[in-house]
Structure 1
Amino acid sequence: MPIRENNRKDYGDVSDLELCLLIQRGDEKAFSELFRRHYNALYQYGMSLYSSEAFIKDCIQTLFLRLWRKRKFYLKDIQSVKAYLLVSLRRIMLRDKKKRAARKERNSEYASDFTKRNHTTEQSIITREITEERKALLETALNSLTKRQKEAFELRLHQGLDNEEIAYVMEITKGRVEDLIYHATRRIKKVISQRAENIR
């Protein structure tokens, strides 16, 4: 892939993969652009898993510091830069929580042997016009999910990842992702349908 001249001041129109190649060469401005471009998504994802703003910011800082120091090794053969950054942040957060003996329980009860199901209706939940009351209702529904269901749904809803990318971030199989999103969608629809009558 041809790389554009790296003596320019603005990298706004440079692709993520091009930025990575420039960063491998030590381009600090390209590194700053990568940080600026993905910081909000990383912060939002981190906050969907943990409620400590300071903790999330520290983990993002750790991620980019490591990325810069090991740029010649970490940034090779990446297909999806966003997914790579998300999974790297997730691993840092989990490692840090273990070191601090965090109390957050991880949902270890995995349902097994589910057949793959068609989940094409999931987008109907987020494409519909939602009032402020509906937003609160959706938040209630999201909070009713298991931790793993919520994480998978958040990655689809807010980060726009496909199932393969979600599987990569969560370090599970694609089939497991499909199952999590299917059950999360069913649960959300059920909670909304049960409570929507009280809003009208």
Structure 2
Amino acid sequence: MADPPTSSSWSRTEEEPTTAPQARRRPTDADLVELVTQGDAQAFAELFDRYSRPAYSLARRLCVDPEIAEDVVQEAFLNLWRRPQGFRADRGSFSTWLLTLVHHRAVDAVRRESAVRRRTAAEGDAVAEEAAAGPDVDQEAMGRVIGGQVQEALRRLPDEQRQVIALAYYGGYTQGEVAAMTGVPLGTVKSRTFAGVRRLRGMLSSLLGTDDDAPRRNRKGGRT
């Protein structure tokens, strides 16, 4: 296998020659992977164009830190370039294979960065308190605060809960698919998802102005 193309060339930037639509068949992912095994950088760039965004979206939700997420995506695509034979079309789609690879790389990155995550765990609270102190905060600024709080809340979740929530809610996978990707039983995936969502709700309730206990009190008291 030849040296990998530089990352700046992974996405195709030059204009391709115009060809009549009926004269060209859009290559499948499997076709492109086969070309990558032959050292075809253009095929590699096409796969990067197709899947770099969903790969980054998943990595971003798992890692939280955008720079770490970018590193994870680059590692995953470098693995594709160096070992394209790792993809087996008879075992599933290319997208599932790639995103599973991203998932594993992201989990490894999160474990390596756990010490950094603990040091920055209080940042979200500081931002929220600063925003609450100002009476004239506009909607855009408040939206940024809430977005930061969501990211911080995700950061605080235990690794196993953050993984299943990121895959299910942001990766778009079913709980059965999450179970297959992570190698844990479906019941465990469900319990981790439930626990993680409940914990997120508790961490965000003060910022969003909700009270998780209110509905339960109303039910006990017979009020609606």
Question: Which interval holds the TM-score relative to the shorter structure?
Answer: 0.5 to 0.7
* 1:156-175 to 2 correspondences below 5 Å: 156-175=168-187
- How far off its partner does 1:170 sit? 2.6
Structure 1 residue aligned with 2:104 = 91
Instruction: From the superposition, tell whether residues 146 and 93 of structure 1 become closer, same or farther in structure 2 (CA, over 3 Å).
Output: closer
Indicate the SS of the match to 1:86. Answer: helix
Structure 2 residue aligned with 1:149 = 161
> How far does the alpha carbon of each residue in 1:154-193 deviate from its partner, in whole angstroms, 9 at most, with x for none?
1111110112322233332222111111222333445566
Structure 1 residue aligned with 2:219 = none
Structure 1 residue aligned with 2:86 = 74
Instruction: From the superposition, tell whether residues 95 and 145 of structure 1 become closer, same or farther in structure 2 (CA, over 3 Å).
Output: closer
Contact 1:63–1:88, Cα closer than 8 Å, also in 2? yes
TM-score (norm 1): 0.59
Structure 1 residue aligned with 2:115 = 103
Contact 1:83–1:165, Cα closer than 8 Å, also in 2? no
* 1:14-163 to 2 correspondences below 5 Å: 15-17=28-30, 19-21=32-34, 23-24=36-37, 27-71=40-84, 73-76=85-88, 77-95=90-108, 103=115, 136=146, 139=150, 142=154, 145-163=157-175
Gap runs ≥5 in structure 2: 1-17, 118-138, 212-224
Higher relative helix content: 2
Gap runs ≥5 in structure 1: 1-7, 106-130
2:198 is matched with which residue: 183, 186, 189? 186
Aligned length in residues: 165
Indicate the SS of the match to 2:92. Answer: coil
- How far off its partner does 1:83 sit? 2.7
- How far off its partner does 1:36 sit? 1.4
Contact 2:58–2:167, Cα closer than 8 Å, also in 1? yes
- How far off its partner does 1:39 sit? 1.1
Contact 1:87–1:168, Cα closer than 8 Å, also in 2? no
Sequence identity percentage:
24
Contact 1:167–1:174, Cα closer than 8 Å, also in 2? yes
CA RMSD of aligned residues (A): 4.1
Structure 2 residue aligned with 1:4 = none
Higher mean displacement: 15-24 or 34-43 = 15-24
TM-score (norm 2): 0.54
Structure having greater relative contact order (Cα 8 Å, sep ≥ 6): 1
Q: Which of these two proteins has the greater Rg computed from alpha carbons? A: 2
